Amino acid sequence: MNNYPFSYDPKQPFVTQASDWIADVFYEILPEAGFEIRDEQIYMAFQLERAYSEKATIFAEAGVGTGKTLVYLLYAINYARYTRKPAIIACADESLIEQLVKPEGDIAKLARYLDLTIDARLGKSPHQYICLNKLDDARGSLEDGDLYQEIYQGLPDFVHSPVTMQSFYPYGNRKDYSDLNDEQWNKIGWDVFQDCLVCSRRHRCGQTLSRDHYRKSTDLIICSHDFYMEHVWTYEARKREGQLPLLPEHSSVVFDEGHLLETAAQKALTYKLNHAVFDGILSRLLQGEIRESLAVAIDEASMQSEHLFSLIDQYSVRIPASDRKEIVWNEELLREIARFRGMIDAIEEELVYESGVYSLDSYQLKIVEEHLEMIQLALGLFKQQNQFISWVMEDKEGITLVIMPKWVKQVLKEQVFSRQMPVVFSSATLSVNGDFRYIADSLGIENSLDFTVQSPYDYENQMRVATSSLDNDADYSQKIGIAVRMLQQSEGRTLILFPSKEELNLFKQHMEPQAGQFAFRFLYEGDSEISHLIGEFQNDETSTLGAVTLWEGLDIPGPSLSHVIVWSLPFPSRDPVFAAKRRDASNAFEEVDMPYMLLRLRQGAGRLIRTRGDRGTITIFGQELKDEKVRESVIQSLPQGVSIQLIDR
């Protein structure tokens, strides 16, 4: 039986034969089905042929409308079948995943028009699933307890009783509960402090069942950047613990919207420490009979943990327009951290003796040792002040210390880019002024291929741009007035992109009292599950959607999206991650702020024109536009030929 959609000759190079067939797809098969022939796709196909032949990393910068997704999917599927290992398609976020796998998406198109059976399975991040233990806690709460009880009763029977499952039955996905807002979901969704290893219900958990299912895919596994980087970061630890890695061995990786990978890598490589969690870890040791010296060491470490987190809270200050707090480091804090590490050392020494006398459950002991090792690794970063980034997050459960290695280059180089495997970065925005070094340097990529193909759309006649340099604070009411006038002109049909949740919430608070005055409704990210929200926006043609995370990947052709408002130029925030980058740059504004902003702005502008028939306006607000150099850079980043109008009144 031929596993490929073409006649394969084992005497000839496989990738060359696959490339010839892919060319036929774009020159003959798809045009016969009514698709437009795109030279950009043919060019991209021949560029990817080299990357797959050489097992190289390639930056594939292809403008909106070039059909880049179809090209990389065809190579990934064929190469997966040749190597008998699935390909990984890693998207920047969950909304991009939904765009790829929806019934009318690109995978479905290929299957239908090429008569292919494509085995594509979703590998969603853990936080996209219900945690059964958190659900139990939420059911007993005074607030929304009935809502969570209804969710519990709607779970499959095998969750509640030990009946045998006959086949895979997915459940507990965030998308299944689209009406929950983010705050409601966070009360029942998995989080990093859940100890799945010792959970008695993990074999009936939706997350675990989904993992068993997607690992068996033969063609494609679709996941997020975050999830892929979590796989990389936990690979060795999971093997040590006798667990399977999050993802199976794979043949190639495609990073869709690959310019966002560094952020995902840093997020995955973070450590999160919390006093309550540390106390819970130590309590495992107290469940059996232990020696007095170990009990004393545990008690002292617990008190030191409480004292340390109290100090961290005392020396933390809130960062404007962020949910993070910056730690003001001093000698007292560093001294108490060193003291805390010493107390953990003492516990670890006691556990060495304890393991020899077999007084503790071996499995529980192993779990505790793994946790303590992780804590020591995290706290060990404080010995080198320039090698880490840290901040504090706070909720009703207390504060959490977040520690991130400053550089992720070495980890990525060793565990991703040094492997003999094709790696494709795909996006409309990978370069800055035609140079790919900004992204390559940030990821530690030393050798790579690259190319750029422009969008085929006639932006000069399809798009117009309006700009305003109003100051956010002094002229906010005037800015709102301009936005309202523009919204009324477009009769809704608008995507408003905000650089932060704080700016979105401020706009929402300002507009909600007068929302009834408009002939269209406002939707806001966070009010429901993201793919459900996107569907509402697309189907309700005159609605307006405010979002923070939809600068990339949103694909809504037609009149439902005829206007994009960039509420503020998307310069990076003042949080500790970008603060560290700025400190290490010789010219922070030119090397960090401007490249990030321009890449993000180009992505946001790319949401407007999705087909040759689309028309619309982009409105860009930004007080920085008063700077002639910034304004010129913004104009140069936009498609050539578009008309630009200043609208400060």
What are the C-alpha distances in Å from 97 to residues 109, 221, 256?
A: 15, 11, 10
pLDDT of residue 398: 81
Question: What average pLDDT does the segment 449-468 reach?
Answer: 92
> 276: pLDDT confidence band, cut at 50, 70 and 90?
confident
Percent residues over pLDDT 70 in the chain? 95
DSSP-based three-state secondary structure for 457: coil
- Residue 56: Cβ within 10 Å count: 17
pLDDT of residue 476: 82
> 125: pLDDT confidence band, cut at 50, 70 and 90?
confident
Digit-coded pLDDT (tens) for 305-348 = 999 999 999 999 988 767 788 899 899 999 999 999 999 999 98
Cα 487 to the center of its chain, rounded Å = 30
Contact 250, 215 (CB under 8 A): no
Most confident of 150-164, 165-179, 448-462: 448-462
Which 8-state DSSP code applies to residue 415? I
> 472: pLDDT confidence band, cut at 50, 70 and 90?
low
pLDDT of residue 473: 60
Give the 3-state secondary structure of 174-200: HHHHCCCCHHHHHCCECCCCCCHHHCC
pLDDT of residue 594: 93
pLDDT of residue 319: 81
Question: What average pLDDT does the segment 594-601 reach?
Answer: 91
Question: What average pLDDT does the segment 3-32 reach?
Answer: 93
Mean pLDDT of the chain: 87
pLDDT of residue 358: 55
Is residue 402 scored above 60 in pLDDT?
Answer: yes
Q: Which stretches of 33-181 are DSSP H helices?
A: 39-54, 68-83, 94-101, 106-113, 132-139, 145-153, 157-160
Lowest mean pLDDT among 82-91, 241-250, 347-356, 608-617: 347-356
pLDDT of residue 471: 67
Measured in degrees and rounded to the nearest 5, phi and psi for residue 548 equal: -110, -30
Digit-coded pLDDT (tens) for 151-161 = 999 998 888 77
Question: What average pLDDT does the segment 223-232 reach?
Answer: 90
Digit-coded pLDDT (tens) for 508-520 = 999 988 888 899 9
pTM reported for the whole predicted model: 0.82
Q: Which stretches of 569-646 are DSSP H helices?
A: 576-584, 588, 594-605, 628-637
Which residue from 537, 295, 539, 542 is spatially nearest to 550, judged by alpha carbons? Answer: 537
DSSP-based three-state secondary structure for 61: strand
Contact 36, 65 (CB under 8 A): no
Is residue 259 scored above 70 in pLDDT?
Answer: yes
DSSP-based three-state secondary structure for 589: helix
What are the C-alpha distances in Å from 437 to residues 59, 445, 586, 599?
A: 11, 9, 16, 13
Higher pLDDT, 385 or 39: 39
Look at strands 423-427 and 253-256 and give their pairing: parallel
pLDDT of residue 216: 92
Question: What average pLDDT does the segment 377-392 reach?
Answer: 82
Contact 267, 408 (CB under 8 A): no
| Burial of 398 per CB tally in 10 Å (0-12, 13-18, 19+) | middle
Is residue 49 scored above 80 in pLDDT?
Answer: yes
Please provide the size of the chain in residues. Answer: 649
> 167: pLDDT confidence band, cut at 50, 70 and 90?
low
Which 8-state DSSP code applies to residue 131? -
Lowest mean pLDDT among 137-141, 387-391, 487-491, 615-619: 387-391
Is residue 1 scored above 50 in pLDDT?
Answer: no
DSSP-based helix, strand, coil % in the chain, nearest 5? 50, 15, 35
Sheet of 398-405, strand order: 271-274, 398-405, 388-395, 325-327, 316-318
Which residue from 93, 87, 73, 86 is spatially nearest to 224, judged by alpha carbons? Answer: 93
Digit-coded pLDDT (tens) for 407-433 = 777 778 888 888 889 999 999 888 877
Round to whole Å and give the CA distance between 404 and 425.
Answer: 24
Find the angle CA(170)-CA(194)-CA(147) to the nearest 5 degrees. 60
Is residue 300 scored above 90 in pLDDT?
Answer: yes
Which residue from 183, 154, 636, 152 is spatially nearest to 431, judged by alpha carbons? Answer: 636
Residue 486 has which token pair? 């523009």
Round to whole Å and give the CA distance between 67 and 605.
Answer: 18
